[in-house]
Amino acid sequence: MRFHLTALTAFATTAAVTASWEPIATYAPGSDVTEHNSLDLDMQAILEALSLQTDEGFQNASSIYSEGGYSLDTSDPIRSYQGFSLQAKEKMWEDCPGCPYLDYSYFYNYYGSHTYGDDIVTAALEGSITSLAKGNFDMSGVSFVGREEVAKKGMVVLNNFMYTIREFEDALDDCQSNCVSCNDGSVHAWDEGVAFYTGSLEGADGSGEGVLLYALADKRCVDYHTCSASGNGLDGTSKVNHELFQLFSLGNYQLLTGDCPAARKTKDRVAQLMYIPLVQGALRYAYKMEFLQGGEKENAEGAIFAAGVVPKVAHFNQGAADTIYSNLKMGTRNTNYAATKKAFENVYPQMGITCADVGGLYSEEIGSYYPGAEPCKDTSNSNKAAVIGGAIGGILGVAIVGLVVFIVFIRHKEVSGEPYFTESLLHNKNQATLTSDSVPETVDGWRKVNADGVSILPAKCFVACNQFYIPSLNAVELDSLALICCEEMSRPKDMGLHPWVRRNRHTPCTIWRDRKAFEDWKNGNAFKEAHGGGAAGDEEKVQQQEKPKPLWSKPPVPVFYEVTLVISSPEGS
Is the domain of 424 the same as that of 567?
A: yes
| 336 lies in some domain | no
The residues, any chain, with a CB within 8 Å of residue 118's CB and separated by 6 or more, are 82, 85, 86, 159
Domain boundary pick from 131, 158, 174 = 174
| Mean of pLDDT over the chain | 76
Per-residue pLDDT, 433: 37
Cα dihedral 266, 268, 273, 274 sign: positive
Q: How far is Cα 547 from Cα 543, in angstroms, rounded to an integer?
A: 9
Is the domain of 8 the same as that of 115?
A: no
Is the domain of 8 the same as that of 61?
A: no
Domain boundary pick from 118, 146, 174 = 174
Q: How far is Cα 400 from Cα 13, in angstroms, rounded to an integer?
A: 8
Is the domain of 9 the same as that of 68?
A: no
> pLDDT digit string (tens) for 115-158?
999 999 999 999 999 999 999 999 999 999 999 999 999 999 99
Q: Which of 73, 269, 264, 37 is nearest to 173 (CA)?
A: 264
Q: How far is Cα 89 from Cα 258, in angstroms, rounded to an integer?
A: 28
Q: What percent of the chain has pLDDT over 90?
A: 55
Is the domain of 9 the same as that of 62?
A: no
> pLDDT digit string (tens) for 483-538?
555 444 455 555 554 444 444 445 556 666 666 777 777 777 766 665 555 444 44
User: Residue range 336-348: average pLDDT?
Assistant: 98
Q: How far is Cα 322 from Cα 448, in angstroms, rounded to an integer?
A: 60
User: Residue range 208-232: average pLDDT?
Assistant: 96
Number of other residues whose CB lies within 10 A of the CB of residue 318: 12
Residue 46: C-alpha distances to residues 28, 85, 144, 193 (Å): 28, 17, 14, 21
> pLDDT digit string (tens) for 322-331?
999 999 999 9
| 479 lies in some domain | yes
Domain boundary pick from 174, 192, 214 = 174
Rounded to 5 degrees, φ, ψ at 561 are -135, 135
Per-residue pLDDT, 554: 46
Number of domains in the chain: 2
Where are the extended beta strands (E) located within 107-158? none
Q: Which domain holds residue 559?
A: 3-16+398-572
| 562 lies in some domain | yes
**Coil, helix or strand for 161?**
helix
Q: How confident is the model at residue 13 (pLDDT cuts 50, 70, 90)?
A: very low
Angle CA 112–116–122, to nearest 5: 140
Q: Which of 407, 431, 391 is nearest to 566 (CA)?
A: 407
Q: Please answer whether residues 255 and 187 qualify as being in contact, where contact means their C-beta atoms are separated by less than 8 angstroms.
A: yes
Is the domain of 8 the same as that of 147?
A: no
Is the domain of 58 the same as that of 124?
A: yes
Q: How far is Cα 340 from Cα 284, in angstroms, rounded to an integer?
A: 11
Is the domain of 416 the same as that of 551?
A: yes
| 247 lies in some domain | no
Q: How far is Cα 391 from Cα 393, in angstroms, rounded to an integer?
A: 7
Q: Is 459 left (phi over 0), alpha (psi -120 to 50) or beta?
A: beta
Look up the CATH number of the domain holding residue 416: 3.30.70.100
Per-residue pLDDT, 504: 42
Is the domain of 425 the same as that of 567?
A: yes
- Classify residue 234 by its DSSP letter: S
Q: How confident is the model at residue 465 (pLDDT cuts 50, 70, 90)?
A: low
Is the domain of 40 the same as that of 9?
A: no
| H-assigned helices in 275-407 | 276-291, 296-307, 310-316, 318-328, 337-346, 348-351, 355-358, 380-390
Q: Is the pLDDT of residue 221 over 80?
A: yes
Q: Which of 241-255, 340-354, 366-380, 545-559 has the lowest mean pLDDT?
A: 545-559
**Coil, helix or strand for 508?**
strand
Rounded to 5 degrees, φ, ψ at 501 are -85, 130
The three state secondary structure string of 432-484 is: HHCCHHHCCCEECCEECCCCCCCCCCCEEEEEEEEEEECCHHHHHHHHHHHHH
Q: Please answer whether residues 528 and 514 qualify as being in contact, where contact means their C-beta atoms are separated by less than 8 angstroms.
A: no
Per-residue pLDDT, 437: 39
| 511 lies in some domain | yes
Cross-strand partners of 3: 410, 565
Cα dihedral 306→391→419→362 (10° resolution): 20
Residue 128: C-alpha distances to residues 137, 151, 197, 303 (Å): 8, 12, 29, 16
Per-residue pLDDT, 184: 83
